[in-house]
């Protein structure tokens, strides 16, 4: 386990939307480098950069056409190497985004695989045996190339699936995972990792990590691939990290990942905290909603199971949001966000802060889809630094921006919140500082539930010698729990405490050392 992960707090950077230094309307690597002091000032000592490689950008860069070359719109490989070095000098680790399950259909591997004559890349992707074979259980694309077959895709039609084999073979065109051509795919991906690790990268966030071997319902063979990768890391890059987009830590961490995202999936505990709604009326039912209609048991039951399954193997990563989901500000106001983030940054594991969430950037409604974003586009708008032109993101003409900035008069910006001690930005800074200075709050600190009753408030939990209580509801909440001790951090009115009970004020949060 990389030692630095224990106190890591990540900042997710969507590169095309973060900071533009060459006035072309698109963020770039130099822009990220120029803002490292800001990121470190937040308390984030690690960053994850979404794909920044050569791509036709049919899916925001998750359709890679060259894994070893930075896309020209972001700069050069040398710019990225310089970012690694500058970040390390500032005490910041850098993860790149690895997309191992598919490439762009413009990748040279695929262009060779699509040829009608056999070559070394013929089986690098998954093709059916004829153009008339259309398997029902898989997405496939037909009629685009002279090769007599259809190719399977993982997502969009421009993202052909790389061939790691099939766990259960039902057709003659399917290969077993140990076929030499499937092993070659695995080794090609390891070669890409070694390339960037050798240049100073500190590891990878792995896109769709469970998508490799097809018909692998229990994910055993996919897990074996990642265990092989982890063995390479442990042997050659012991301080490099692997973080999975799997959202099943019980499997992902045993497969070799150091951390796994706890994502917003309908019916899971994360969803119950922040985004749950009545399926008929649409009324908010999240625990952190100000309506007080949440049910903490839905979170506790789900999370405790995941925590117990995985706590000896690695970390669960809570996120404030990401490039694939509506920003939390869409459903929570600033007070609610303060409570939600205070909770996220005082939970076990390795947390991730999505760029702009620290100032409460809004989900931008009604935008035309950009580069395959569709309804995700509203969460990918430019970072809002100042009240100046284009919110300080770029000097380009407004009509040339990658996406429009929030034009509202009250658009949240770093500039507006920097000197306000009560701002969301400074609240995030304070709670992150508390985490860094309290080992009980860091990734390995113990966790236990003190009070969590179905349909009731507050939620009280323990991290080592610390007791933490949160009441997002609009009502006073009195519980027969003693949380006497020194208050280290609080939001809202302090609770009234006695030996026998605690009265939590509406919309309040407190961390107490016993």
Of 389, 413, 439, the one marking the end of a domain is: 439
Q: In this structure, is residue 368 part of a structural domain? A: yes
| Confidence category of residue 90, pLDDT binned at 50, 70, 90 | very high
Average pLDDT of the chain is: 97
96 in the same domain as 109: no
349 in the same domain as 302: yes
Tokens at residue 188, please? Answer: 């090609």
Nearest to 472 by CA among 337, 288, 347: 288
Q: In this structure, is residue 174 part of a structural domain? A: no
Residue-number span of the structural domain to which 123 is assigned: 102-163
Provide the CB-side half-sphere exposure for 170 (13 A, CA).
8
Is 222:212 a contact under the CB 8 Å cutoff?
yes
Nearest to 120 by CA among 109, 104, 130, 106: 109
144 in the same domain as 26: no
Cis-peptide into 458, omega within 30 deg: yes
194 in the same domain as 72: yes
275 in the same domain as 420: yes
Strands 46-49 and 352-354: unpaired
Q: CB under 8 Å to 78, separation ≥6 — which residues?
A: none
CA dihedral for 84, 314, 100, 221, sign (positive or negative): positive
Nearest to 338 by CA among 471, 481, 450, 442: 471
Q: How many domains does the chain have?
A: 3
Q: Answer yes or no: is pLDDT of 134 > 90.
A: no
401 in the same domain as 277: yes
Strands 502-504 and 477-479: antiparallel
Q: Answer yes or no: is pLDDT of 137 > 90.
A: no
CA 169/CA 481 separation, integer angstroms: 57
pLDDT value at residue 215 = 96
Q: Which residue has the higher pLDDT, 160 or 279?
A: 160
- Mean of pLDDT values over 199-217: 97
Q: Answer yes or no: is pLDDT of 122 > 90.
A: yes
311 in the same domain as 189: yes
Q: Answer yes or no: is pLDDT of 149 > 90.
A: yes
340 in the same domain as 202: yes
Is 54:71 a contact under the CB 8 Å cutoff?
yes
412 in the same domain as 471: no
- Mean of pLDDT values over 435-461: 97
pLDDT value at residue 356 = 98
Q: In this structure, is residue 176 part of a structural domain? A: no
pLDDT value at residue 506 = 98
Locate tokens 């507050």: which residue?
Answer: 458
pLDDT value at residue 181 = 98
Of 439, 463, 481, the one marking the end of a domain is: 439
Q: Answer yes or no: is pLDDT of 136 > 90.
A: no
281 in the same domain as 404: yes
């Amino acid at each position: 386990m990389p030692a630095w992960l224990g106190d890591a707090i990540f900042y997710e950077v969507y590169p095309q939307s973060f900071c533009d230094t060459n006035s072309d309307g698109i963020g770039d690597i130099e822009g990220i480098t120029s803002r490292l002091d800001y990121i470190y000032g937040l308390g984030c000592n690690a960053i994850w950069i979404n794909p920044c490689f050569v791509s036709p950008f049919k899916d925001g860069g998750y359709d890679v056409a060259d894994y070893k070359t930075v896309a020209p719109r972001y700069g050069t490989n040398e710019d990225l190497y310089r970012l690694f070095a500058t970040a390390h000098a500032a005490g910041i680790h850098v993860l790149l985004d690895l997309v191992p399950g598919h490439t762009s259909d413009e990748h040279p591997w695929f262009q060779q695989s699509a040829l009608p004559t056999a070559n070394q890349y013929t089986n690098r992707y998954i093709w059916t045996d004829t153009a008339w074979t259309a398997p029902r259980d898989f997405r496939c694309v037909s009629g685009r190339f002279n090769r007599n077959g259809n190719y399977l895709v993982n997502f969009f039609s421009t993202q052909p699936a790389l061939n790691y084999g099939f766990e259960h073979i039902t057709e003659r065109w399917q290969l077993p995972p140990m076929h030499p051509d499937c092993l070659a795919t695995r080794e090609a991906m390891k070669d890409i990792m070694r390339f960037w690790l050798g240049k100073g990268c500190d590891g990878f966030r792995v896109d769709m990590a469970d998508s490799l071997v097809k018909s692998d319902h229990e994910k055993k063979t996919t897990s074996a691939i990642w265990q092989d990768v982890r063995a390479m890391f442990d042997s050659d890059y012991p301080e490099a990290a692997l973080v999975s987009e799997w959202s099943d830590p019980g499997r992902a961490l045993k497969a070799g990942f150091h951390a796994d995202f706890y994502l917003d999936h309908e019916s899971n505990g994360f969803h119950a905290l922040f985004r749950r709604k009545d399926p008929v009326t649409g009324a908010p039912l999240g625990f952190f909603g100000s309506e007080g209609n949440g049910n903490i048991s839905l979170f506790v039951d789900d999370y405790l199971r995941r925590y117990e399954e995985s706590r000896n193997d690695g970390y669960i990563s809570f996120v404030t949001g990401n490039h694939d989901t509506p920003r939390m500000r869409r459903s929570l106001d600033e007070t609610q966000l303060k409570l939600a983030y205070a909770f996220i940054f005082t939970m076990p594991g390795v947390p991730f802060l999505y760029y702009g969430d620290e100032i409460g950037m809004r989900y931008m409604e009604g935008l035309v889809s950009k580069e395959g974003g569709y309804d995700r586009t509203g969460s990918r708008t430019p970072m809002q630094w100042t009240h100046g032109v284009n919110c300080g993101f770029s000097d380009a003409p407004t009509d040339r921006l990658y996406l429009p900035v929030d034009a509202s008069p009250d658009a949240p910006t770093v500039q507006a919140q920097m000197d306000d001690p009560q701002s969301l930005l400074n609240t995030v800074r304070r709670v992150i500082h508390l985490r860094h200075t309290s080992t009980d709050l860091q990734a390995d600190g113990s966790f236990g539930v003190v009070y969590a009753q179905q349909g009731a408030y507050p939620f009280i939990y323990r991290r080592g010698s610390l007791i933490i209580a949160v009441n997002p509801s609009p009502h006073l909440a009195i519980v027969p729990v003693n949380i006497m001790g020194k208050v280290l951090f609080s939001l809202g009115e302090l609770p009234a405490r006695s030996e026998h009970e605690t009265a939590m004020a509406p919309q309040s949060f407190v961390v107490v050392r016993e």
